Amino acid sequence: MEFNFSPPKRSPCASFSDAPAPEFLFISPSHKAALQAIMNGIAERRGLVVLLGEPGLGKTALLYAFLETIDPRQLKAVYLFYPRLSIHEILETIYQEFGMTYAPGDPIEQINHLRQILIEEYKKGRNFVLIIDEAHDLPPQTLEYLLILSNVQAVAKNIIQIVLSGTELLKQHLNNPKYIKKGCPIYTVLFPLKKRESIAYIQHRLSKSALHDAALFTKGALKRIVAYAQGNPRILNSLCADALILGAVSQRQSVSAKIVREVIANIGAKRHARLWRWICAGAVGVLLLLGFLQDVLYTQLVVPEIARLELSRLALSIFPMYQEASSADALQPTAERKPVLPLPRTAIEVVQAREGEAPAGPPAEIGPLPPLPIPEDNPLTMEKIELGKRLFFDPRLSGDGSLACVSCHLPEQGWTTNTPLSPSYPTTMERRNSQTLINVAYNKALIWDGRAASLEKQALGPIQNPLHMNQNLDLLIEKLKAIPAYEERFQHVFGTTATPEALGKALAAFERTLVTRNAPFDRYMTGDWQAMSAAALRGMALFKGKARCILCHNGPNFTDSQFHRLGVPDAPLLSDPLVQAAIRFDAKRMNVPEYQSVRDDLGRYLVTKEEKDRGAFKTPTLRNVMQREPYMHNGVFQSIEEVIDFYDGGGGTVAGKAPLLQALSLTAQEKRDLLTFILALTGELPVVTPPELPR
């Protein structure tokens, strides 16, 4: 593969510019394979090609080089670098490329219209490619429509080709079960340069300068540069440029190992100088304000993950209240040690006092899940779990045989449903989003308003609820007795015929097995220090600090099992007469005197009848949260990014909102880091296949 770029020679320093110019592109075996995969995927009309690689490996330069090779008479290309675009903005750009005016409307209709345009291009032998760089930042809804767009076909051929470039986070998005069935991409990966390739890369860059024949770097200098950069071209560029500048200032004939050492030391000094300035400012603040602001110290001084950011033991000693048993333990983490920053007890007590709650100490530390809690009166057995599984999938548990427990808790949708409101019994509508059953065994409070005292009792609630399965429980028990296979299994498992208590225990036993394991976060916390990326670690520090997520999403299951009034916006379906009827009906059955005038879901108030609980809902777990959009009790937010934006703005505007909420002023990068950490909470779930039901 040859690239015949012949630009004017330039200064050596300019040769290490980070600009993604094709002339600078160094074709390593990894780059060559990636470029060939892109070209083949487009030529073969495969629909979707995904280029993966960590920042600085040359993805953008590779895409620019590809654009230089295309024949515009055969292939029309649109390149987008800013990924935070809606599907409407992307479609508008494509329409403009064809000289057409875009009228915003239903995206599916616009895609179908675009298909007709592309078919005409296809008939003329022309292809079209849409390239999106930094695609790991695409909004989920935009990504979903792009996958639909990549499957637009004519005569069994994809008539638009899409190239998405991004980090491994992009692959995590695409591996979402929601997206897998919408596209089958070609993946190609850029890897860091090997040592010999790094040296060849430097020589390649120098060949673009006026002094390309000079020995500008000694062998020792090259060795140090290559060792420090770890195969990342961006770091190689930075080191080489800085070293050349320092060598010129020192009037040296070549860059020596000593100069490279100084450059590396300066890079570290700049990093640590920023940290030390911040630390000293924080220390002075502590000394001046500790006397009268100790109770709110945590909200005023957010310390990053000190051990993760390479601070010294001396830095840790400045903040003894955040220090572990020893500084050495903090700097050399073990699987047993706790995270570095527990929330000071005084801060959480102040917040709880404002809410009228008794001080309960700091939130429980996040960490791996403990052993499965199993009630003494309902021990788990394989036979009981299998019976519960069959009952869970059996629509005969509903009044008309149309709904089963699984109807509202689909395995492929994170054991919930991806609709704003839960499925309901025919002729009715629900008023809430289905809660996930993932890790339900660890929940201390069940249902959005906490009305169920145990999983066994909760399992019977939806069966009898007219909005859900609308089944008379006594009639159901008699129907189960009339099915010989069920009767035999109840006798074998419980030593008795079917009863409401046995039914609840069997369903609860199965639901307790739906536990997520082996998430990147869990692996990291148990000693696999490579399991989480640097971005995820930054996100974890934000989660426990500036973003304040840990105040509610704490403990191993990332929920405090408490109820909070957040001011969540009304969902569009709230005004539907059937939803309003469901809200009033539920208020009446929960003995709310003024039920006829109720318009909004009262939340925890339905149970306690205490005004502070009006509109308060249970904190859900964040484990595997990326698999179960939409979000909140009414499904009003379609993506986790919308949820982050909601909290970043301080929540809603409702009176009596939880004082825990406050505006965060997160930067775009901080939001991305926080999202990366939340993705790291996605673990493996047991594979559950629909069973054969007894007849």
Q: Are strands 161-166 and 157-158 parallel, antiparallel or unpaired?
A: unpaired
Q: How many CB atoms lie within 10 A of CB 187?
A: 14
Q: How many CB atoms lie within 10 A of CB 103?
A: 11
Q: Could you report the per-residue pLDDT of 404-430, keeping only the tens digit for each?
A: 999 999 999 999 999 999 999 999 999
Cα(670)–Cα(547) distance, integer angstroms: 9
Beta bridge partners of residue 77, listed in sequence order: 129
pTM of the model: 0.52
Concatenating the DSSP letter of every residue in 598-653 gives --S--BTHHHH--GGGTTEEEPPP-TTGGGS-SBSTT--BSSHHHHHHHHHTTS--
In CATH terms, 382-511 corresponds, of 3.40.50.300, 1.10.357.10, 3.40.50.150, 1.10.760.10, to 1.10.760.10
Q: Which H or E element spans position 31?
A: helix 29-43
Tell me which range, 41-50, 93-102, 287-296, is most confidently predicted by mean pLDDT.
Answer: 41-50
Q: Which CATH class is domain 29-189?
A: alpha beta
User: What is the percent of the chain with per-residue pLDDT over 90, rounded to a whole number?
Assistant: 45
Q: Specify the pLDDT at position 183.
A: 55
- Of the pLDDT bands very low, low, confident and very high (cuts 50, 70, 90), residue 558 is very high
Q: How many CB atoms lie within 10 A of CB 81?
A: 12
- The structural domains of the chain, with segments of one domain joined by +, span 29-189, 382-511
List the beta strands (DSSP E) in 412-562.
none
Q: Specify the pLDDT at position 174.
A: 82
Q: Could you report the per-residue pLDDT of 315-359, keeping only the tens digit for each?
A: 333 333 333 333 333 333 333 333 333 333 333 333 343 334 333
Q: How far is CA 197 from CA 8, 18, 43, 202, 236, in A?
A: 25, 18, 29, 9, 11
Q: Could you report the per-residue pLDDT of 264-276, keeping only the tens digit for each?
A: 887 664 454 445 5
Q: Could you report the per-residue pLDDT of 359-416, keeping only the tens digit for each?
A: 344 567 898 999 899 999 999 999 999 999 999 999 999 999 999 999 999 999 999 9
Cα(275)–Cα(282) distance, integer angstroms: 10
Q: What is the mean pLDDT of the chain?
A: 80
- Assess whether pLDDT exceeds 70 at residue 138: yes
Q: Give the residue with greater pLDDT, 213 vs 79.
A: 79
Burial label for 609, CB within 10 Å (0-12, 13-18, 19+), is middle
Q: Specify the pLDDT at position 12.
A: 57
Cα(635)–Cα(514) distance, integer angstroms: 22
Q: Specify the pLDDT at position 355.
A: 38
